[in-house]
Structure 1
Amino acid sequence: MSASSPLHEDAAGGELKLDAYLPYRLSVASNAVSRLIARAYEDRFGLTIPQWRLICVLAEDGPMTQGGIVARTVMDKVTVSRAAQGLAQRRLVARSDHHADGRSHVLTLTTEGARLHAEISPLALAYEAALIAGLSPEEVALLKRLLVRLQGAADALTGTSPA
């Protein structure tokens, strides 16, 4: 972007300039990346982004309740529930009763779900590499640190605990 772009303009007198407003820029960037990735996952693997996130969490963290997945991914309960149901129907996750809470279920990645995760993971990393190709390793590290700090600040302002 040029030095005269909206991102480099100071808001005169506290005036809101949408293109320079950080929450808007974050949302637009996130939506663009999500659309790109969603197209690939849906077209090739028949997965939604929430389903892919759920598979990743189970692959990384092991069996977990839907409530645990909600906390880990910051997706809402309905989204996690729908993703879990769709994955269970495809036999990519298995649901079992929670030993301590009869209303809750534990989700576990099945062998087929683990195989799918192993197949998609390199593609996900390739998308990430393509997205950050124009950034130096130092810029990538800084971006990741800043995003974690922004999430922490948002959590503090809303009084929520970090995911």
Structure 2
Amino acid sequence: MKKTKHQILTLERYLPYRLSILSNRISANIAETYSDKFGLSVTEWRIMAVVGEYPNVSADEVSVKTQIEKSMLSRAITKLLHRSLLEREFGPKDKRRSMLRLTATGLSVYDEVVPISYDYERELLKCFSDAEKDQFSELIDRLYQQAESIS
């Protein structure tokens, strides 16, 4: 019997795996804070972050900006609406198109979470010099563009 030589994938060195694991680790760290202090999931916070930055944004635009799968996005938006953190206004001509914005309560939560998010980011990036932070940001942008071009 002839042995077939297989190429081995060293998962711990495989970039997509490493990025996924890193993302999961970072999300798990910050998710604990969002959940404990504000009762928010990471997905819910990401939605609030987009709506906070872009008031009167559609759910489709939130989906594009966050890359959150549409059914998961819809469930999270529904939770945020029920908690009165978001409000939705339907378009006068097209009732299928709605605009999302933070309520006063949502804005209050947003104003508390933003500094915590920035503090976490600062703590996470402490291991880099300012030049390395700039370079890292640029490399992430380039990698994202490359991933877009081959998808």
Q: Specify if TM > 0.5.
A: yes
1:133 pairs with one of 94, 104, 126: 126
- The answer on 1:83 being equivalent to 2:37 is no
Q: Which whole-Å deviations, capped at 9, do the CAs of 1:133-154 have from their partners, x for residues lacking one? A: 1111111111111111111111
Partner SS state of residue 64, structure 1: coil
Aligned to 1:29: 22
- Indicate the SS of the match to 2:47: helix
Give the SS at the match of 2:34: helix
Query: How far, CA to CA, are the matches of 2:29 and 2:93 in structure 1?
Result: 40
Q: Deviations over 1:92-132 (max 9, x none)?
A: 11011123432222111111111111111111111111111
Q: 1:33-77: CA deviations, max 9, x gaps?
A: 000011110111000111101111111111111111101111111
Question: Gapped runs of 5+ residues in structure 1?
Answer: 1-13, 159-163
SS at match of 2:68: coil
Q: Map 1:37-116 to 2 at 5 A.
A: 37-116=30-109
Q: Count the aligned residue pairs.
A: 146
Q: 2:112 aligns with which of 93, 115, 119?
A: 119
Q: State the shift of 1:15 in Å.
A: 4.5
Aligned residue for 1:3?
none
Output the CA distance in 2 between the equivalents of 1:111 and 1:126. 24
State the one-letter code of the partner of 1:87: L
Q: In structure 1, which of residues 9, 17, 22 is the aligned counterpart of residue 10 of structure 2?
A: 17
CA distance in 1, matches of 2:11, 2:17: 7
Give how far 1:80 is off. 1.4
Amino acid at match of 2:44: Q
The root-mean-square deviation of aligned C-alpha atoms, in Å, is: 1.5
Q: What fraction of aligned residue pairs are identical, expressed as a percent?
A: 34
Instruction: Report the alpha carbon displacement of residue 90 of structure 1 after superposing the two structures with TM.
Output: 0.7
Over 6 Å off, 4+ runs: none
For residues 143 and 25 of structure 1, the distance between their equivalents in structure 2, rounded to whole angstroms, comes to 15
Alignment of 1:153 with 2:146, yes or no, is yes
DSSP-derived class of the 2:136 partner: helix
Structure 1 counterpart of 2:113, one-letter code:
I
Task: Give the TM-score of the pair, scaled to structure 1.
Answer: 0.84
